[in-house]
Amino acid sequence: MPRLFVTGTDTGVGKTRVATALCAAFIAAGKRVAAMKPIASGCMHTPDGLRNDDAEALRRAMNVRAGYAEVNPYAFLPAIAPHIAAMEAGRTIEFEVLDRCFERLSLQSDVTIVEGAGGWLAPIDAGRTFADLAAHWQLDVVLVVGLRLGCLNHALLTVESIERHGLRLAGWVGNSVDPHFERLPENLQALRTRIAAPCLGALPHSINSTDEAVKLLSANLRELEPLRHP
């Protein structure tokens, strides 16, 4: 069953919108779905501790029961690069901690969706990136392309790096983050021509519900099934 890593061409391109929509689409297809935001910065103080909006959205979207610390093992207060936030907090990101959470969630689910932070090569520590984490877990990748000026270069460089890490790009989603982006259809066509992986949907600019995203992604869930080798 699918084990997916949702990454983006940059920060703020709609990874959580796509990840939560994928959760809803798989649940509608009758699957047990777990989601994870391994490392999150930009958290808020709550009576229960630090909480991240994206991680909370994923937790609400999944249908597997899990505590917040399993969904988001590393939470940091400032909205800065996670590796800098960890350094300032005097904490070390340990893959062993992430492994335990990922394994528990995966054992309970048919589908596991992991959302990164920032872009594909956002650092985790002095030597590792989120790309290394995706490779460590051998996850298929869903790329969210923020549709705005510069997206072609950002998307193609990210696709190239995903391939260099030996991972399968299962599909990509165009998410309109700039309502005034000129030549949107032409840019989408350029991406479809240059990216071999399927386009799972082109989402309109929206600050509201994920209903449109769920509808579009539901039609393409088969593309996200793991490859079967003879």
| Number of domains making up the chain | 1
pLDDT at 205: 85
| 124 contact partners, CB below 8 Å, separation of at least 6 | 39, 82, 83, 93, 130, 132, 133
Active site residue 37: yes
Domain contains 191: yes
Q: So what's the pLDDT on residue 230?
A: 37
Distant-in-sequence contacts of 155-158, Cβ < 8 A, 24+ apart: 155/9, 155/191, 155/195, 156/194, 156/195, 158/7, 158/9, 158/119, 158/120
Look at the pTM and tell me if it is higher than 0.85: yes
Q: Which domain holds residue 201?
A: 3-224
Domain-embedded: residue 90: yes
In this structure, is residue 230 part of a structural domain? no
Query: Of residues 15, 31, 37, 215, which has the active-site annotation?
Result: 37
Beta strands in 15-106 (DSSP E): 33-36, 39-40, 44-46, 49-51, 74-75
Q: Is residue 45 part of a domain?
A: yes
CATH at 176: 3.40.50.300
pLDDT at res. 50 = 95
Residue 217 near residue 201, CB atoms below 8 Å? yes
Q: Please report the pLDDT score of residue 67 as a whole number.
A: 96
The token pair that represents 114 in the structure block: 């992991």
pLDDT of residue 206: 74
Task: Tell me, yes or no, whether 215 lies in a domain.
Answer: yes
Give the mean pLDDT per block of 10 residues along the chain (230 residues).
95 94 95 98 95 96 97 96 94 96 97 97 95 98 97 98 97 94 96 97 76 85 71
Identify whether 120 is part of a domain.
Answer: yes
Q: Is residue 229 part of a domain?
A: no
* Residue 71 lies inside a defined structural domain of this protein: yes
